[in-house]
Amino acid sequence: MKNDFRARNHPAYWAFIVHRGSGVLLTLFLPLHFWALGQALQGAAVLDGFLRWTEYPLVKFAEIGLVLLLSAHLAGGVRLLVLEFLEWREWQKTLLAAAAGVSLVAALAFMLNLV
């Protein structure tokens, strides 16, 4: 039982959870994204109405979350590529923290651009 908890408290396990969770959430977002793109096919007035809706603070906050999910998923994918093509080294634990930091910086930069 103790070994099971120790394995789940490892940084690589949490990187796995973030990568899978962000992938699932991005998959759930995809139909909404296609619907939004489809608004352009309905005409300029419908698209303008949709674009006005995107100016609400809650939507802006959701966009920041989306950028965070995208950057976290990208960082997790790069981490998996490093694991696939390189031998495991202790410094790769540091890459987990760096990937999380880069993801947060990307979301914060996006947020500052919106404000």
Looking at residue 110, its pLDDT comes to 87
Looking at residue 102, its pLDDT comes to 86
Expressed as residue numbers, the domain containing 36 is 2-114
Structural domains counted in the chain: 1
CATH code of the domain containing 79: 1.20.1300.10
Instruction: List strand residue ranges (DSSP E) for 1-115, in order.
Output: none
Distance between CA atoms of 115 and 112, rounded to whole angstroms?
5
Contact call for residues 10 and 47 (beta carbons, < 8 A): no
Its pTM stands at 0.74
- Reading the block at residue 34, the tokens are 């296609």
8-state DSSP, 89: -
- Number of residues assigned to the chain: 115
- Sites in the chain below the pLDDT cut of 70: 1-7, 115
